[in-house]
Amino acid sequence: MLNIQEIKTLEEIKTKTPSIISLYLNCDQRVRTPEQIRITLKNLSKEIEAKADKRTLSKIKDYIKLRLKPGTRGLAFFVCPKIDLWKIYEVPRAFFNQVVCDTSPYTRPLIKLLDEFERYCVVVLDKEKARVFTVYLGEIEERKDVFSLPKFPGKHDQGGWRQARMQRHTEVHITRLINSIAKQIFSFFRKNNFDRLIIAGSKEVLPEFEKNIHSYLKQRLAGKFLTEMFMPLKHFLDQSLKIEEQVERQKESELVSKLKESIGRAKGVTGLGKVLSAAQRKELQTLLVLIGFRRKGKVCDDCGFISIIPQLKVCPYCKEKMKEAEDVIERLLEVALEQDAKVEFVKDNKDLEKMGNIGAILRF
Ligand SMILES: [Zn+2]
């Protein structure tokens, strides 16, 4: 699992001559075809071959062709045949395509990713127990060190209890248990500082638990679901990712609103033409693109200028011949990531559609 510790370990790897290859690829299969990914790799392969060898390159190619997961959006390779280094990270966020060769791995894009991605904490409980998971970068991990819970006192040696008293006793215990879980999850939060909370469990305890969680955590509550306690990890991951998806949609529509506001203050643009001009001026701060939006156009391979004017034959900046491009959005994304802009893909959003499927919040 990718975390800050992993990155630190990576950074400790050193070679005498610059022979460590750090390769970052945008493998977002919602917007890039396998062919486009292959071409990107081909364009970067000279640098890889020069520092490593043909075998390493074909190993990378094979990995992308055969083992790339459907949900992966970014791939990072750290490779050095000399010291037997072969490390891959598949992450749910796109990278700017690049190769860096140095005496140690180039980790900045990974650090940025860790910084931007939200950490989810999932608490599952029933009348007797609780489990805690963290969900991060599309992966789930169970934390077994979080709770010490009150035991149900003497189930067996209280045999003489009447039914009603037993019932009362159980209720008291459940209340104690819920309070205890709520308290402990709050101190877990203070130590680990996750971004959002998901709560799950049986319908007997979940509403009561929700009432009892600390107000800080209530603000971070992303969702809840009913479940049995002893389900496999995969189940909790899938349920959590569904909620994460809803949160993403929510964030997207907030961003679209922010884009609308920024247009009023002349700090935002919409429509491909205006966005391209802003990209050319290096003003992109956040680029919003509707998923599935593509457009033919022309590009200058020399300076990277992108145009949607079909008649444009020569680049106005460097006088090179403009080339036909099947999809200029693809090029624009590269330009945006190069400017260190945030790229947000927006799913089915009527407002953004009306604004021409694309818009950008500007830096200046
Ligand atoms: Zn040019």
Amino acid in the structure at residue 154: G
Min mean pLDDT across 205-214, 256-265, 325-334, 343-352 is at 325-334
| pLDDT tier for residue 152 given thresholds of 50, 70 and 90 | low
- What does the pLDDT look like over 295-312, one tens digit per residue? 999 999 888 899 999 999
Q: Assign domain 4-116 one CATH number from 3.30.960.10, 3.40.50.2300, 3.40.50.360, 3.20.20.70.
A: 3.30.960.10
Could you report how far apart the first and last alpha carbons of the chain are, in Å? 37
The count of other CB atoms within 10 Å of the CB of residue 14 is 11
More confident residue, 8 or 162: 8
- What are the residue ranges spanned by the domains of the chain? 4-116, 120-231, 252-362
* Distance from the alpha carbon of residue 61 to the mean position of ligand 1, in angstroms: 30
Superfamily of domain 252-362: Ribosomal protein L30/S12 (3.30.1330.30)
- What does the pLDDT look like over 30-53, one tens digit per residue? 878 888 899 999 989 888 888 777
* Distance from the alpha carbon of residue 101 to the mean position of ligand 1, in angstroms: 27
* Distance from the alpha carbon of residue 41 to the mean position of ligand 1, in angstroms: 23
Pairing of strands 358-362, 268-270: antiparallel
Residue 207's nearest CA partner among 219, 221, 222, 224 is 224
What mean pLDDT do residues 55-66 have?
91
- What does the pLDDT look like over 236-294, one tens digit per residue? 999 999 999 899 899 999 999 999 999 988 899 999 999 999 999 999 999 999 988 98
* Distance from the alpha carbon of residue 323 to the mean position of ligand 1, in angstroms: 10
What mean pLDDT do residues 212-229 have?
96
C-alpha span between 181 and 128 (Å, rounded) = 11
CATH architecture of 120-231: 2-Layer Sandwich (3.30)
C-alpha span between 198 and 175 (Å, rounded) = 20
Check pLDDT > 70 for residue 137. Answer: yes
* Distance from the alpha carbon of residue 336 to the mean position of ligand 1, in angstroms: 17
Round the CA-based radius of gyration of the chain to a whole number and report it.
Answer: 26
* Distance from the alpha carbon of residue 334 to the mean position of ligand 1, in angstroms: 16
The count of other CB atoms within 10 Å of the CB of residue 253 is 16
Min mean pLDDT across 190-204, 234-248, 251-265, 331-345 is at 331-345
* Distance from the alpha carbon of residue 280 to the mean position of ligand 1, in angstroms: 11
* Distance from the alpha carbon of residue 325 to the mean position of ligand 1, in angstroms: 14
* Distance from the alpha carbon of residue 178 to the mean position of ligand 1, in angstroms: 64
* Distance from the alpha carbon of residue 73 to the mean position of ligand 1, in angstroms: 29
| pLDDT tier for residue 3 given thresholds of 50, 70 and 90 | confident
pLDDT value at position 156? Answer: 54
pLDDT value at position 297? Answer: 94
pLDDT value at position 161? Answer: 64
* Distance from the alpha carbon of residue 98 to the mean position of ligand 1, in angstroms: 20
* Matching fold, domains 120-231 and 252-362: no
Residue 363's nearest CA partner among 332, 342, 335 is 342
Percent above pLDDT 70 for the chain: 97
pLDDT value at position 31? Answer: 79
What mean pLDDT do residues 95-124 have?
88
Average pLDDT, the chain: 90
Where would I find the beta strands (DSSP E) of 63-209?
74-80, 85-91, 98-102, 120-125, 130-136, 139-143, 196-201
203 with 226: CB under 8 angstroms? yes
* Distance from the alpha carbon of residue 23 to the mean position of ligand 1, in angstroms: 26
pLDDT value at position 49? Answer: 84
Check pLDDT > 90 for residue 351. Answer: yes
* Distance from the alpha carbon of residue 282 to the mean position of ligand 1, in angstroms: 15
Check pLDDT > 70 for residue 11. Answer: yes
* Distance from the alpha carbon of residue 37 to the mean position of ligand 1, in angstroms: 23
More confident residue, 335 or 227: 227
| pLDDT tier for residue 68 given thresholds of 50, 70 and 90 | confident
Check pLDDT > 70 for residue 231. Answer: yes
